Amino acid sequence: MTAQQENKERIGVYVCHCGTNIAGTVDVASVRDWAAGRLKDRGVVLARDYKFMCSSLGQELIEKDIKEHGLTRVVVAACSPHLHENTFRTACARAGLNPYLCELASIREQVSWVHTDKAAATAKAKAVLSGAVERVIHNEPLEPLHVPIHEATLVVGGGIAGIQAALEIADAGFPVYLVEREPSIGGHMSQFDKTFPTLDCSACILTPKMVSAGTHPKITLMTWSEVVKVDGYVGNFTVTIKKQARYVTTELCTGCGICQEKCPKKVIDEVYEAGLGYRKAVYIPFPQAVPKFPVIDRPNCTFFQKGTCRACEKLCPTGAIDFNQKDEFVTVEVGNIILATGYDLFDARRIPQYGYGRLANVYTNLEFERLSNAAGPTNGNIVLRDGKTAPKAVGVIHCVGSRDRNYNNYCSAICCMQSLKFAHIVRERTGAQVYNFYIDMRTPAKAYDEFYQRVLEEGTLFVRGRVAEVTDAARLPGEEGKLIIQVEDTLVGKQRRIPVDMVVLSAGMEPRHDAKDVAKLFGISCSSDGWVIEKHPKLDPVATMTEGVFVVGCAQGPKDIPATVAQGAAASARVLGRIQQKEIALEPVRANINQDQCSGCRICNNLCPYNAILFHEDRMVSEVNPALCQGCGTCVAACPAGAISGTGFSDEQILSQIEGLLLLNIDGRKAEVPEAVPA
């Protein structure tokens, strides 16, 4: 019924070739002629095709037609609206047409790229176009909503990605809240000994940045803290942060470390020392920690568990220990959020045939970083688990848990270079023979392959093949007391058994164990692997589909330090751009409740994922707050009275589009269909 209404609109149709992307599968000229002819009585006054509609010439064509032919509606049959809706809407706006009167028909992603039969694809392109024409008739001119932007930014995660992002924004003069779960910022990078390929000391390049972040007047550092709640929308987020009780009064603490020294309770440090060293129940994770204040690990503290001890309290020279501290909840207002939550290491115990956890001298890469770190548990001496014997032969196994369909299909990106670094360090410090077991060497970035050449020349031996097992079951002479690496050397085509003293497993990166919960908290999505999905993998790698929420570093996928730092800076540039604009235009695609039709049943109130619907007790009706509404349409579908309509997605628009898709709009074919379509 809607499709057959009297239509006075003057519609221009533009069919894009997209080079051969569309024209290769769809007969573009035929679509154009069909639209000009068969859709003429639906208001199409002209139809054109063009090689690249998105080019400036293509856009000018639309602008010229709007002015010369008095077009009141525009339909562009081209790519997905994700890509170029904005381009064509802007072109219309330049010609004086309200941008929301322009509609895109996706005949690339949904037609030419997914079909091979040209005739069928052409027919489908016509149907999709016809749907867009019917829909655009019912489009209404809309005005975007302008809201002010809060100039503060929340950075979640204090690794190198978060530190970089926070510093860039703070240096530009805007406030930043940097939230970190651990007692100190620094992240994984603070655990490393050297960084490839330059072999810079990791701490030497990281510590200055940590100190800057800790002392910057514009950065509010919140360590030992976690974000627990996020409300609001781009420009105006309200974030609740849980500050765990440190049991140390930071105003009084000087960071002298006496508490840590005197604490009688020794605990294996699973985080900073990767399980290879010890810390106390009250501890500063590492000497360069920022902030320098210790925390008391409540589950391990003798006082909290048994009620006696208080050694730290008695011996603290400034009386800074306070066992009565409580967790604190802080609420902050921010305009943008940058997630830099990092990665977890693949748990090598999941591949028991590699022996980690069973065989003493099988180490993970993170353990080896601590082992080789001068500030680590062995002062940088590379030794077996007995704590004193230097290895004579070391095997480094690449791709542990990566590129393996049993665990993770993806490449963890850093392990090849990291394994080469290990080979170099072992040779330099111990002179041991080093074997690297790889599937493919991946050394693509600047100066990486040169480093590989260097390690080759140093005499490290490379065996190409996935290791079958690491065992201590000696079989041949010379294997007694060794770890034997059984591997198929695929370059030679034979099985090898290589006895070594130490095995280092280059375990891959995995999303944080709670990545999905974090994504839910911030209203973004993860891929099936668990990495955060970016807005566009190539052209918008640090934004997410949720406006105002950005993702940087390994939370988005495995990457090395240079790429992580670049992303931190990139996201802050995006945020700064936003802040400078002072306000942001929100898409006017919003739900709207017809107050006369609303029965006050409140079904929509609880369904709204953005808490955008308020209920007026006095009038017993619900109302949508347009600034909070994201236009998801949940309430529209749920309303039993049909009282809610989505601006830009009205029933009229959708039903007309369906009729157009089914070609019910042509030649009076409507008459053949029984009048069962609901209003």
Partner 1 sequence: MTHYLLYPGCSMESSAIAYYDSLMAIRETLGLELEEIHDWNCCGATEYLGINLIPAYTLISRNLALAAQQTNGTRTVVAPCSACYLNLAKANHFMLERPILGVRVNEALAAGGLHYDPGSLQIRHLLDVIINDIGLDAVKSKVVRPLKGLRVAPYLGCMVPRPDYDHRWSNPEYPNELDRLLKALGAEVIDFPLKTHCCGGHMTQIGPATAYELIRRLVHAADQYHADLMVTLCPMCQLNVDAYQGETNKHFKTNYHMPIVFFTQLMGLAFGKDPVELGFGKEFVDTRPALAKIGVEVPPPPAGETPTPPKPKRAKKEGLPMPRMSGEEEEVSS
> Can residue 672 be called a binding residue for partner 1 (CB under 8 A)?
no
Q: How far apart are CA 162 and CA 156, in angstroms?
A: 7
| Residue 515 token pair | 């990545």
Applying the rule CB under 8 A, the residues between 152 and 181 that interact with partner 1 are none
Find all residues with CB under 8 Å of 361, minimum gap 6, and list them. Answer: 384, 385, 391, 483, 501, 502, 503
Which residue carries 């440090």 as its tokens? 269
Give CA separation, 24 vs 57, 108, 127, 151, 467, in Å.
Answer: 21, 10, 18, 48, 46
> Can residue 380 be called a binding residue for partner 1 (CB under 8 A)?
no
| Residue 341 token pair | 């939550």
Shortest separation between residue 190's beta carbon and partner 1, angstroms: 20
Applying the rule CB under 8 A, the residues between 273 and 302 that interact with partner 1 are 275-278
Count, residues in the chain: 679
Q: Are 503 and 361 in contact (CB under 8 A)?
A: yes
Which of 96, 217, 307, 387 contacts partner 1 by CB under 8 A?
Answer: 387
Which of 8, 251, 379, 473 contacts partner 1 by CB under 8 A?
Answer: 473
The nearer residue to partner 1, 43 or 377, going by C-beta atoms, is 377
The nearer residue to partner 1, 353 or 409, going by C-beta atoms, is 353
Which of 202, 288, 412, 471 contacts partner 1 by CB under 8 A?
Answer: 471
**Which has the closest alpha carbon to 414: 507, 541, 512, 346?**
507
Applying the rule CB under 8 A, the residues between 229 and 268 that interact with partner 1 are 268
Shortest separation between residue 385's beta carbon and partner 1, angstroms: 5
Shortest separation between residue 341's beta carbon and partner 1, angstroms: 24
The nearer residue to partner 1, 277 or 558, going by C-beta atoms, is 277
Which of 9, 27, 171, 472 contacts partner 1 by CB under 8 A?
Answer: 472
> Can residue 480 be called a binding residue for partner 1 (CB under 8 A)?
yes
Q: Are 165 and 218 in contact (CB under 8 A)?
A: no
Which of 326, 388, 446, 538 contacts partner 1 by CB under 8 A?
Answer: 388
**Which has the closest alpha carbon to 381: 433, 429, 450, 452?**
429
| Residue 212 token pair | 């800057």
Shortest separation between residue 541's beta carbon and partner 1, angstroms: 35
Q: How many CA atoms lie within 13 A of 5 on its CB side?
A: 15
Shortest separation between residue 265's beta carbon and partner 1, angstroms: 15
Shortest separation between residue 499's beta carbon and partner 1, angstroms: 12
- Phi and psi based region of residue 58 (left: phi greater than 0; alpha: psi -120 to 50; beta: remaining): alpha
Piece of 229-237, 270-278, 617-625, 640-648 that binds partner 1 (CB under 8 A): 270-278
First vs last C-alpha separation in the chain: 8
Piece of 56-64, 94-102, 473-481, 662-670 that binds partner 1 (CB under 8 A): 473-481
The nearer residue to partner 1, 449 or 469, going by C-beta atoms, is 469
Piece of 69-77, 247-255, 475-483, 533-541 that binds partner 1 (CB under 8 A): 475-483
Find all residues with CB under 8 Å of 325, minimum gap 6, and list them. Answer: 245, 246, 247, 248, 249
Which residue carries 């079909």 as its tokens? 115
The nearer residue to partner 1, 218 or 385, going by C-beta atoms, is 385
Nearest-10 Cα torsion for 650, 656, 657, 661:
160
Total residues interacting with partner 1, rule: CB under 8 A: 31
Applying the rule CB under 8 A, the residues between 358 and 377 that interact with partner 1 are 358, 360, 364, 367, 377
Nearest-10 Cα torsion for 562, 568, 573, 579:
-170
Q: How far apart are CA 254 and CA 372, in angstroms?
A: 30
Piece of 210-218, 467-475, 564-572, 627-635 that binds partner 1 (CB under 8 A): 467-475
Shortest separation between residue 488's beta carbon and partner 1, angstroms: 16
> Can residue 475 be called a binding residue for partner 1 (CB under 8 A)?
yes
**Which has the closest alpha carbon to 234: 518, 498, 575?**
575
Applying the rule CB under 8 A, the residues between 556 and 595 that interact with partner 1 are none
The nearer residue to partner 1, 363 or 435, going by C-beta atoms, is 363
Full strand arrangement of the beta sheet holding 549-551: 219-222, 176-179, 153-156, 336-339, 549-551
Which of 212, 302, 378, 605 contacts partner 1 by CB under 8 A?
Answer: 378
Q: Are 271 and 187 in contact (CB under 8 A)?
A: no
Q: How far apart are CA 244 and CA 261, in angstroms?
A: 23
Strand blocks (E) in 375-465: 393-400, 433-438, 461-464
Which of 6, 251, 386, 675 contacts partner 1 by CB under 8 A?
Answer: 386
For the chain, count helices (H), then strands (E). 17, 34
Applying the rule CB under 8 A, the residues between 340 and 359 that interact with partner 1 are 349, 351-353, 355-358
Shortest separation between residue 428's beta carbon and partner 1, angstroms: 21
**Which has the closest alpha carbon to 130: 36, 39, 49, 1?**
39
Which of 481, 577, 640, 674 contacts partner 1 by CB under 8 A?
Answer: 481
Shortest separation between residue 433's beta carbon and partner 1, angstroms: 18
Shortest separation between residue 252's beta carbon and partner 1, angstroms: 34
For 648, other C-beta atoms within 10 Å of its C-beta total 17
Piece of 116-124, 169-177, 474-482, 559-567 that binds partner 1 (CB under 8 A): 474-482
Percentages (nearest 5) of helix, strand, coil residues in the chain: 30, 25, 45
The nearer residue to partner 1, 158 or 376, going by C-beta atoms, is 376
The nearer residue to partner 1, 72 or 364, going by C-beta atoms, is 364
Shortest separation between residue 438's beta carbon and partner 1, angstroms: 21
- Burial (CB count <10 Å: 0-12, 13-18, 19+), residue 382: buried
> Can residue 513 be called a binding residue for partner 1 (CB under 8 A)?
no
Shortest separation between residue 668's beta carbon and partner 1, angstroms: 50
Shortest separation between residue 613's beta carbon and partner 1, angstroms: 45
Q: Which residues, listed in sequence order, are joined to residue 505 by a DSSP beta bridge?
A: 364, 397
Q: How far apart are CA 269 and CA 281, in angstroms?
A: 10
x/- track of binding to partner 1 for residues 527-556 (CB under 8 A): ------------------------------
Shortest separation between residue 458's beta carbon and partner 1, angstroms: 27
Contact positions vs partner 1 (CB under 8 A)? 268, 275-278, 349, 351-353, 355-358, 360, 364, 367, 377-378, 384-388, 469, 471-475, 480-481
